Amino acid sequence: MSTNVDVAFDAYVLFTLLTVATIASMYLAGRIAERRGRRFKIWAWIAAMIGPLALPLIFLFPNLHRKNAGHG
């Protein structure tokens, strides 16, 4: 059987894990975006809004640091 204390503790653990995942995704999204020629601060804010979903979203945009083969 589950008591109210167990449920509250589980909620705190889940909230803590989600907070850590969001903060980690903010940092990772910013760094990956920076390597791809985008602004760190903007992508950190995007990750703050949508969480870890920002990580795959970065890869949908073109890499601005990629060399243009034959176009330069």
Rounded alpha-carbon distances, angstroms, from residue 36 to 5, 18, 30, 33, 49:
46, 26, 10, 5, 20
| Cα 13 → chain centroid | 20
pLDDT band at 71 (very low <50, low <70, confident <90, very high): low
> What does the DSSP 8-state code read for residue 43?
H
Residue 72 confidence (pLDDT) above 80? no
Sign of CA dihedral 19, 54, 56, 71: negative
- The pTM is what? 0.74
Task: Give the chain's mean pLDDT.
Answer: 87
Rounded alpha-carbon distances, angstroms, from residue 2 to 11, 13, 44:
13, 16, 38
Residues 13-46 have pLDDT tens digits of 999 999 999 999 999 999 999 999 999 999 999 9
